[in-house]
Amino acid sequence: MAVDLVQVIQEWTTRVTALAWALFLLTWSIGWAIRGAPIPFAKVKRVGSSLVEDSVWAAFWLAVGMTVFKVVTYLANLIAQALGL
């Protein structure tokens, strides 16, 4: 039972991390594409810059989130081992 819980937590950790990285890369690439596009509208270029800045914050929170998920996985694994499951 607890081993299944550890596997579920590890699986969700992997999925959430992959999804977060995909969203980060998508936002970052769109931001740089808009920012570097030869568009004469300054407002559009500011949106591109904003997306790049937001993707940097996303990378930070992604790192924090991965750390939290890894700690939860580690604790769940320790509890499963302590219970002998």
Percent of the chain clearing pLDDT 90 (strictly above) = 0
Contact 62, 21 (CB under 8 A): yes
Query: What distance lies between CA 33 and its chain's CA centroid?
Result: 21
Q: What is the pLDDT of residues 44-77, one digit of tens each?
A: 667 777 877 887 788 778 878 887 877 887 888 8
pLDDT at 47: 76
Global model pTM greater than 0.85: no
- Please determine, for residue 79, whether its predicted confidence score (pLDDT) is greater than 60: yes
> What are the domain boundaries of the chain?
2-82
Six-digit token pair at 74? 């580690």
User: Is the CA virtual torsion 20, 26, 30, 36 positive or negative?
Assistant: positive
* Residue ranges of E strands in 1-85: none
